[in-house]
Structure 1
Amino acid sequence: MLSIQEMEALIDKLDQSSIDEFSYEANGAKIKLKKHHSVVQTVTNEAVHIPQTPQIKEQVAPSIEKPSQSEQATVQEEKPVVESKDYDFEVVSPMVGTFYSSPSPDKPAFVQVGDQVSENTVICIVEAMKLFNEIEADVKGTVTEVLVENGELVEYGQPLFRIKTV
C-alpha cells in the first residue's frame, strides 16, 4: 500500500500533468485519481453569456473589428434567449478522440435521453490513440440530451451529455 506521502506526490504529479485520470492497483488495494474538468452551468431566462478566457481573447482579438452602432444593435437583437432549464450539468470530453455511445457496434448504447445515471455510471467511451477510455457521469441524475453522434470526433472540453441532477 502507498504511504500518505506517496499518494500526495501522485496527486501533485497528476495536477501538473496532462493526464486526466490515473488508476493504481497492488496487493488488493486500488487507487483511482481523476481530475474534474466538467462544466457546470446555471441557465436563467436571461440571455446566456459565456465569458472568454484571457488566452482566447488574446488569440481572437487581433482579427476582430469593432462593429458599428447599427451592427451592434443587430447583434444584440440576435442573442438567443433560453426559455427553460432542462439540465444543470454537462459531461465534457476529457480528451481529443472518437466518441462511442456503446461498448461495441452490436451492443446497445450505454445511456439514452431519459436514463437515470449515478456518479459511477459509464455513459460512453472516448478512444484516443487506440486506448478506449470509459467516461463516467460524475453526478446522479437524468440524461436530458446527448450532444454528439456515435463515431464523431470530439475535442477536449467539448460537451457530450447534459444531465439534470437529482
Structure 2
Amino acid sequence: MDGFHYPRSYLSAQADAALYQSRRGASFTFDAAKFLGVIRKLRNAPLEDEIKAPSFDHAVKDPIEDDITIGPTQRIVIVEGNYVALDADIWRDAAALFDELWFVDIDFDRARERLAARHVKAGIVTSLQDGYKRADENDLINGKDIVENRMPIQEIVSSFDDDGWSPGV
C-alpha cells in the first residue's frame, strides 16, 4: 500500500505543507481514490488483463508508478497496509471489495520500539530519541486511529517477539 503515498512534491504543495509533511503516513497523506481504483480493477478485471500498481522506493522516499504487475493468472492477491480496513471515506469502499480482512495486532509499546529503530535505520531520523519522537507524534497517532476505526475483521494475528526467529539465532 505504500505505493499509494502522495509524493513528497504533492505534500509540499498543500496549503498546510508542514502538517502534511510531518504527518506523512497518516491516512490523508495517501491517495485513497487511486487505491480504490486499483482494488476495483483487481476485483473486476477480465481474466486476460494485467493490472499495474505503484510501489514505494524507500531510497527516494516516493512511490514508483506502475512498478508492480499483477498478471491474469494470479488468483490470490494479498494487499497489506495500514488503512486497508479503515472505516472511513474511500477506504471503507475499498475494504468492502476484499474477500477477507485480517489485522496484525501489536502492543503499542513494542510498536514504538520497532518504529523508532526503523526510522533510524531508514535514515528518516539520526537518533533513536528522534525516532521515538516521530513514533509518538505521528505513527502511534495513526495506529490509534486504525485500531479505533477499523472495519469488522475476519482474522486477527498477534505480532510479538520470538527469539527463535531473531537474526543470528
TM-score calculated relative to the size of structure 1: 0.30
Q: Which has the higher helix share?
A: 2
TM-score calculated relative to the size of structure 2: 0.29
Highest CA radius of gyration, 1 or 2?
Answer: 1
